[in-house]
Amino acid sequence: MEESDCIESHPYLYVNGTPIMDLLKTSRIPGNDPNERAPRSDGLRYNNAIIINEYDWIWLNRDGSPTTLTDGVYRDIFPWADTPEKRFEVHAKNLAMITEFWRAHRQAAAVMYFCGLGYSRSMPPRGQTSDDFIDLDNLVLEPHFVQYVRPAFNPVGVMLDLWDEKTFYRR
């Protein structure tokens, strides 16, 4: 890795089942990057600019069903999100909160949403990720995504850095 190279980070906070609110109580350097995957031989961190590309891990298919990677997340963390409508809302609100967290703490040079356009396979063989369109032919985004996530990417934002159980597990 060169000093001029950026680091692509995939800090998936939902992947290990830790209550997300516990992970957001302090500013953190994004992980799941070369510092963990291919560390320097001298034990020091790469100080290159970090670009967060993938960080969602709560993907839904276009029909509102969980992906193969997120079956357990919705079953274990959001069990009341038992309809596509409820899952779309949970996904959008939590994605917006995580986006705002990464942007507000300024530990990364960029926060990019994955994925803008991808596949969506709710029938076998099921897919692992999906995009947020509900009508791909007309490029219509899922309404909760537009309502909550779009403002999280506004050029200027205000975020109250308060995290409690009600924030994430609101029904």
Tell me: the pLDDT tens digits for 9-38?
A: 998 887 766 667 677 777 888 888 888 888
Domain ranges of the chain: 7-38+47-169
- Tell me the whole-structure pTM to 2 decimals: 0.86
Tell me: the pLDDT tens digits for 88-120?
A: 999 999 899 899 999 998 899 999 988 777 888
Buried residues in 121-154 as b, exposed as e (16+ CB within 10 A)? beeeeebebbbbbbeeeeeebbebbeebbeebee
